[in-house]
Structure 1
Amino acid sequence: MTRQDVVSALGSIDDVTITEIIASGASLEELREAWAWAFADEALMSQGRPLPGTRVATLIDLIEADDEDGDLADHD
């Protein structure tokens, strides 16, 4: 995954978080799933989706930590 992939999925986030996301080895699909779990978990649970795996859970932690400084939830 590239820096541009991360920015296209999440919008404006800090460089440290971008680097940590890329270093996680996650795919763009996993990043998008993490965003969905971080900001729409009730909708995913009502669809019967299984809980996120370890890599996606790590991404959720990174995204939520960055959101404390910004407003990722408003990003489409």
Structure 2
Amino acid sequence: MQLTNIAEQFEAMGVSVVAMTYDSIEILQEVSEEEGISFTLLRDEGMTHVNRLGILNNTDYEPGQRAYGVPYPGIFL
């Protein structure tokens, strides 16, 4: 995960790093352990934030395709 590689640099500048996904808590824990993630991972239950931010990707793929409905990546400071 690219963010893992640069999170310490941001934190050294006083910027807190947080990532948000709609994945389950179990998946978040698994990914955190596998990738050695030290920053906070948040769960967007029901994709509330995805929908409010308007980053739902439902135009690039057809329903039934694996990536249909996966949010566009975003960075917010």
TM-score band by shorter chain is: under 0.3
TM-score by length of 1: 0.24
TM-score by length of 2: 0.24
Q: Relative contact order (alpha carbons < 8 A, sep ≥ 6): 1 or 2 greater? A: 1
Q: Larger radius of gyration, structure 1 or 2?
A: 2
> Hey, which of these two has a bigger chunk of strand by percent?
2
